[in-house]
Structure 1
C-alpha cells in the first residue's frame, strides 16, 4: 500500500510547491479537482488528500518554472557519498538503492572517455570539528563516518576509477571551504553534473551553492538517491523548478562531450 502513495504529494507538500497555502488549496477544491489548477484530488483510506506528482510537475512547466540552463563549455562530474555508509542496506544512513551505482559508473566511464574531470566527495565525521559536532546534534547517525572507518570507503564498484580529486569533507556542500572550487576554477569548469546522495541533503545544498557561484547544474535523476521515494520525488521536483536541470541519465550521457576550449 505504501508504494502506491510514493508518487503522490500530501496537501502541505503540494501547496508549498505551488506557492499557495494549504487552506487555499482546500478552498479551490470542487468535485474532486482544484479549480484553476486542474489538479485531481485523491483520498487515502484515512481521508487524507493526495495530489499526483506528475500533475504538479506539469503545472510548474505551464507556469514558467523548470526552465533549462543546459550544458556550458566545460563540464565536471561531481559524485557525493556513494560510499559504504550510504549504499549498504545495513547502514543507518543508507539510501534506497536502485540504479544509482550502475548509472554513476556509466557517467564516470563516459566522462573519462572525453577527458571530463571526475571528483569524488565523501562526508566524514570529525569529533574535534565544530561543524561535525553541530551537524551530528541534528543527525546523530553521522558519527559513524569517522575517517578511519570502513563506512567512508567508496562503493567497491566505484573505488578503482582514477578520480581527478577525492574530497573528504565535514561540510554539507562540496564547494564550501574545500579544494573543489579551486580545482574547478583552475580548469575553467562552468557546468557541474551531480550524482550521489542524499538528494535532499548534500546534493540539494551543493546544487544551490553551485548556482550561486555561477555554475550550470545538471542532475541525472537516476544517479541520485534518498532514504525514501517521496522525499526523492519532491526534492527533484523542487530542484528542477529552481536550481538545476533534472534530466534522464541518457540525456546527460549524450551531452558529455569533450570540453570546448575557451576563446
Structure 2
C-alpha cells in the first residue's frame, strides 16, 4: 500500500529542507513599525479588469488589508500607500509595459487605478508613493521617507504577492529594513503562485507573519506607548 503524506506534513518537510540548506532565518521586528499598502486598487478587484482573479483571493486580501490598516492607525503606526501611475500611452513604463500590456489599467484617468470604495484608502497626511515599476523603492523616495520617520520595520502587503509585494519586500531588505509580509493581506491571481511566493519570501527576504500576530503586535505597541 502506498503511503501518503498530509499537506501539513508536506509543508513542514519543505520548510525543514529549506532550513537545512541555510534558509528560513528570522529577522524579527524592531521597535519602530510602519505599514506599507502595496497597490490595493480596483484593477485587481473589478471582474472587468484583466488583472482580476476568479478565486476571490484579492477580495480576501483587501479585507485583511483594511483590518491591518485600521489597527495600525489605532496604534499610531504610520501608514503609507504605493500606487502605479503611468502616463497616457505608457510612455514612462519602459519595457515593463511591453512585458505586461495590461499595465494600461494604470494610465492616468483610468478608474481601475482608484482605491476600492471599501478601503483601504489613504487619509489626509498619509504618504502616497507613485511608482512606475514593481518595487515601491525603485525610483522613489520611499527609503528616505521611512528613514526620516525612524522606521526600522515595514509591514508590507497588498497586490500582487508575486509582483509588487515581493519586489518591495526584497528592496526593503536591501535598503536595511526588517520587512514583515502579512500573509492574509497579500493577494495573487493563482493560489499556488501566492503561496509559493510567500514561502520563498519567508525563506530568503522577509518574515511572513499572520494577520492575527500583526494585530497583536500593534496592540502591544500602542500599550507600550501609553505606559
Deviations 1:229-256 (A, max 9, x none): 1111110110000001111110111112
| 8 Å Cα contact 1:74-1:259 kept in structure 2 | no
1:90 aligned residue:
48
State the 1:182 CA deviation. 2.3
| 8 Å Cα contact 1:110-1:253 kept in structure 2 | yes
State the 1:227 CA deviation. 0.9
Is residue 252 from structure 1 mapped to residue 214 from structure 2 by the alignment? yes
1:121 aligned residue:
82
Is residue 158 from structure 1 mapped to residue 119 from structure 2 by the alignment? yes
Cα distance in 1 between the residues matched to 2:121 and 2:198: 29
Is residue 180 from structure 1 mapped to residue 142 from structure 2 by the alignment? yes
Deviations 1:152-211 (A, max 9, x none): 101111155516111221121111221322221111110110110111101111111110
The two structures have a TM-score, normalised by structure 2, of: 0.85
Cα distance in 1 between the residues matched to 2:121 and 2:51: 23
The two structures have a TM-score, normalised by structure 1, of: 0.74
Q: Does the C-alpha gap of structure 1 residues 260 and 231 become closer, same or farther in structure 2, counting only changes over 3 Å?
A: same
Is residue 232 from structure 1 mapped to residue 190 from structure 2 by the alignment? no
2:169 aligned residue:
207
State the 1:54 CA deviation. 4.6
- In the alignment, structure 2 segments of 5+ residues that lack a partner are none
Is residue 134 from structure 1 mapped to residue 131 from structure 2 by the alignment? no
Q: Does the C-alpha gap of structure 1 residues 244 and 99 become closer, same or farther in structure 2, counting only changes over 3 Å?
A: same
Cα distance in 1 between the residues matched to 2:15 and 2:100: 30
- In the alignment, structure 1 segments of 5+ residues that lack a partner are 1-30, 34-38, 41-50
State the 1:61 CA deviation. 4.0
State the 1:64 CA deviation. 4.4
- RMSD of equivalent CA atoms: 2.8
Is residue 70 from structure 1 mapped to residue 28 from structure 2 by the alignment? yes
Deviations 1:25-67 (A, max 9, x none): xxxxxx979xxxxx96xxxxxxxxxx94453134334554222
SS of 1:78's equivalent in the other structure is: strand
Higher helix proportion (structure 1 or 2): 2
* Highest RCO, 1 vs 2 (Cα 8 Å, sep ≥ 6): 2
User: What is the aligned length?
Assistant: 218
Match of 2:66 among 82, 105, 117: 105
